[in-house]
Amino acid sequence: MTKTILRALAGETLPTPPIWMMRQAGRYLPEYRATRAQAGDFLSLCYNPELAAEVTLQPIRRYGFDAAILFADILLVPQALGADLWFVTGEGPRLSTITGADDLAKLGLVADIDEVLAPIYETVKILSRELPKETTLIGFAGAPWTVATYMIAGRGTKDQGPAHALMREHPEVFDALMARITEATIEYLSRQIDAGAEVVKIFDSWAGSLKGEAFTKYALEPTKQIIAALKARHPNTPIIAFPREAGDGYIGFAKATGADCVALDNSVSAEWAAANVQVDGCVQGNLASSHMVTGGQALVDDTKRIVKAFSNGPHIFNLGHGITPDADPDNVQRMIDAVREG
């Protein structure tokens, strides 16, 4: 029998939606923290295939999710292109910045990224062997706009202001950077599929700060380009797109980009998304991740409401964003039970 997530991605409406959870391998789990300590630091964990596979498998063992998502980070692509990358404890990633043509010229060639990213492909190979036969393996990458915002600012920002400024003031540099990231992302995801990923997801975490024509040019079009290239090479591999906080931009996004599924954040209601987005095919989402912290009857009620809202079409149950480090592992089980009890 075909795996449940692949059935949903093919457009099938299932009596119980398959479940996985963004950032399901992470700091909320004690077993993850133990493995992270063994690795030494976050990047060492990402580049250690055995340990990265282990943390990917941990939530599958604990919860029996219908999919595992590769443990890696969206900023490995800029690092593979030659950007300096490091993580500051408690503050997050830091990168060398792209502020002009000179910085762009220092980046490496897309043809050379596999040398750096080879351990990631090895992790995928391990997982494709070790995952339970019913569990789908998802690969991923950051979308070009989101990756560019980090490369330009050198860190995460609240409003992605530095990237917007470069877009306005030096559009030729900005466009060249976007093109380089887009090309690298195609190669990276294609190699993940070659290694055994059955589905890939494109995370555009900061898509919501693009409005109007900018959303079309820098969120929709690069996603469309990546999907077209991947479909030409891997026509049977489903692709999930996540233009987070796109609002009305979710409408028609699947048709415009060729995505097999659109993941939804929780700033839109499931009822609205069922009427406006699910009409075009599979949707994924969209429980507020705060429920994983607070739990209680509200968690159960909201989970069941979302399942009901999306019950007339293909749906993969997930959070509207990644689970946070302060989440209670017991609440994850409550969510799964609420979905599967119907």
Catalytic-role residue among 28, 32, 36, 244: 36
Catalytic-role residue among 23, 180, 191, 334: 23
10 Å CB burial of residue 2 (0-12, 13-18, 19+) is: exposed
What spatial distance separates the first Cα and last Cα of the chain, rounded to whole Å? 22
- Among 28, 20, 32, smallest CA distance to 65 is for 20
DSSP result, 190-201 = HHHHHHT-SEEE
Catalytic-role residue among 7, 27, 62, 94: 27
Rg, Å, the chain Cα set? 19
Catalytic-role residue among 63, 150, 188, 250: 150
- Give me the sign of the Cα torsion angle 141, 146, 148, 149: negative
Q: How far is CA 156 from CA 92, 272, 277, 308, in A?
A: 8, 30, 29, 36
Catalytic-role residue among 7, 33, 62, 73: 73
DSSP 281: S
DSSP-derived 3-state class of residue 86:
strand
Q: How far is CA 106 from CA 46, 119, 163, 182, 259, in A?
A: 24, 24, 18, 17, 33
Quick check: is 36 catalytic?
yes
Quick check: is 168 catalytic?
no
Quick check: is 73 catalytic?
yes
Quick check: is 23 catalytic?
yes
Cross-strand bridge partners of residue 199: 138
DSSP-derived 3-state class of residue 15:
coil
Contact 209, 158 (CB under 8 A): no
Q: How far is CA 210 from CA 167, 180, 205, in A?
A: 11, 20, 11
Catalytic residue set: 23, 27, 36, 73, 150
